[in-house]
Structure 1
């Protein structure tokens, strides 16, 4: 079983992941002129904001705090990659959707790692499973939109 500090660290890394998603979706909403896509991106950005608050509440329960209101360095690099890919692509919405798929797959991978360590995360396992499910649903929607764009 992990120490409380390790659990807090794990949860903070998930806060970074959901912030990466939130910022990525906001960037994507700014980059597209497609109103349907913009609405979907803003919905998922809002969802990630809720996830952030839920995770921060669990961090506080464990005696920690999370001041990270923006994503991690990898998220910043990923958002930059979205900007570059978007500017080089002849079909920018398709490029944005593809980049989002990459980010969502990375988020699911991270959640799966912590869900698999259920002994350390048992007091918030239901939350992690629920959030992972929401990310998986978002990924499925993004894949559907990718096929249709």
Structure 2
């Protein structure tokens, strides 16, 4: 087991990816057609999941003597810009929104997989991160199922 700073770095990466989810779902909700109330509600719930997760992660970082990360990842900012460009050229907002959301969910799953590969985590942190990954995976699977339905409808 290594230093607290290595663990803080891992946890802060997860905070940043969850911040990306929050910002991404805010953007997706804002750009979702008003008739797609189910998507707006889903996006709000998924952002809330990340807020709750970040509360847990922030507590752990603080307990380790670290400074919790703020802001988002550069890759997340670039991705949101790409979402803007892609949306501008799409004539199926629902399908595009779900495709973009799935891409973000895939990134979150990869970040959690990377964190869980680390030997730096305590058993308790590994349990916490595994539980959080499962929560995010449920969101991923919901997005994927809706995306598949949207594709089948066209």
TM-score, length-scaled by structure 1: 0.93
Taking the TM superposition and a 5 Å limit, the aligned residue runs for 1:33-112 are 33=33, 34-68=36-70, 70-112=71-113
Deviation per CA, 1:41-94: give whole Å up to 9, x if none: 0100111111111110010111012150x3111111111111211111111121
Provide the aligned C-alpha RMSD in A. 1.2
- The structure with higher relative contact order (CA 8 Å, sep 6+) is 2
Alignment gaps of 5+ in structure 1: none
Query: Which contiguous aligned blocks of 4+ residues in structure 1 show a shift greater than 3 angstroms?
Result: none
Contact kept, 8 Å, 2:22 with 2:50, in 1: the verdict is: yes
Alignment gaps of 5+ in structure 2: none
TM-score, length-scaled by structure 2: 0.90
Q: Report the equivalent of 1:19.
A: 19
Specify whether residues 93 and 143 from structure 1 end up closer, same or farther in structure 2 by C-alpha distance, changes over 3 A only: same
Counterpart Cα distance in 1 of 2:28 and 2:91: 16
Counterpart Cα distance in 1 of 2:94 and 2:86: 10
Counterpart Cα distance in 2 of 1:107 and 1:2: 24
- Count of residue correspondences: 147
How far has the Cα of 1:2 moved from its partner? Answer: 2.8
Specify whether residues 67 and 107 from structure 1 end up closer, same or farther in structure 2 by C-alpha distance, changes over 3 A only: closer
> Looking at CA atoms only, which structure, 1 or 2, has the larger radius of gyration?
2
Counterpart Cα distance in 1 of 2:149 and 2:69: 39
Counterpart Cα distance in 2 of 1:12 and 1:2: 16
Counterpart Cα distance in 1 of 2:117 and 2:17: 17
